[in-house]
A = this chain, B = another copy of it.
Amino acid sequence: MRGKAGLTFGKMLENLRQKAPLIHSITNPVTVNQCANILLACGASPIMADDPMEAAQITGISDGLVLNMGTLSQRTVPSMMASGERAGQLSLPIVLDPVGVAASGFRMNTARMFLERLPLSVIRGNLSEFRALAKLSEGPADADTLTELSRGPAGVDALAADRITQENLPELLDFARAFARRTKTVSVITGAIDLVTDGGRAYCIRNGHPLMRRVTGTGCQLSALTGAFAAANPGYILEAAAAAVTAMGLAGEIAWKRLGPGEGNMTYGNYIIDAVCHLTSEDLEKGGNYEIR
């Protein structure tokens, strides 16, 4: 299946491996090692600098920027802003991962600042995170809204009520399109079905495996991978994001098949990165399970 202008997912992976873009990630210590390794696995080169003294300068030598709000810190929010602004000046793709955004006012306020002031290319999160962001992007939130929101989500996971199913898919596509249009981003809402849209065309992707939710950081890794696909395929952000989501889901399926007796979530996490390392353009073309709506 093809993206616009004939740029297939397979071709986008080829571009990524050939160009080996340098991806600057400002991220959390929980999953930073896996993010670096998945970037190396897909063919990109990682750099994780997060100090305000150098963040913008590092972005200046990079090909893409990933901002991940897991374990958000006052020390690195200024780094994220400075790097985001520099990426904007250089027209580099910026991926935002609003990890557990509704869990605190600090995250909500920081996310609002990013939405208002940075030219984000892609936002990648679960449905609970998107619902919280949607409140913000609709207008100024009062204290009550913040309180209500932060009561909801169970930390960094999506609420049970926020499952993506065949039944609520049409409604969620409307939600995703409206959000993407309002924020002028490609919105990537991941769950049992993944939705990727720029407000017009939408990919509904059915790759992946439920066990991925029991490995910490598969979401963070997908955001890093999205940055790599986008940086290697500028001008095709929607398709690049869909290709990244499909690649990650496929890696989850391949890794699942490799699991032997006694192997659990930790080994599974390693196998997912291994699978990205070995993923070919042909695998990606053949294994993708998605429709365009």
Q: Give chain A's interface residues, CB within 8 Å of chain B.
A: 22, 28-34, 36-37, 40-41, 45-54, 57-58, 61-62, 70-75, 100, 103-107, 150-151, 153-157, 214-217, 254, 258, 262-267, 269-271, 273-278
Residue of chain B at shortest CB distance from A214 = B40
| Contact A270 to B273, CB < 8 A, known contacts A51-B72, A74-B53, A154-B45 | no
Cβ–Cβ contact A50 & B73, under 8 A = yes
CB within 8 A of A47: which of B48, B50, B156? B156
Compute how far the CA of A157 lies from the CA of B45 in the bound complex, rounded to whole angstroms. Answer: 8
Complex: chain B residue closest to A46, CB-CB: B216
Q: Which B residues touch A217, using CB under 8 A? A: 33, 36
Contact call B264/A278, Cβ cutoff below 8 A: yes
Complex-state Cα separation, A130 to B18, whole angstroms: 27
The answer on a CB contact under 8 Å between A266 and B214 is no
CB-nearest residue of chain B relative to A49? B71
A51, B103: Cβ atoms closer than 8 Å = no
When the two chains form their complex, are residues B41 and A265 in contact, meaning their CB atoms are under 8 A apart?
yes
By the criterion CB–CB under 8 Å, are A54 and B266 in contact? no
Bound Cα distance A28, B47 (Å): 12
| Set of chain B residues within 8 Å of A72, measured between Cβ atoms | 49, 51, 53-54
- Give Cα A244–Cα B40 distance, bound, in whole angstroms: 25
Given contacts A53-B106, A54-B72, contact A41 B266 (CB under 8 A): yes
> Chain B: which residue is nearest A62 at the CB level?
B155
Q: Are B74 and A107 closer than 8 Å at their CB atoms? A: no
The CA of A270 and the CA of B263, in the complex, are separated in Å by: 9
**Contact (A70, B48) CB under 8 Å given A33-B33, A265-B277, A266-B37:** yes
Q: A40-B265, A51-B106, A264-B273 are in contact. List 9 more A-B contacts (CB 8 A).
A: A29-B29, A36-B216, A40-B216, A41-B265, A45-B154, A49-B71, A53-B104, A265-B274, A265-B277
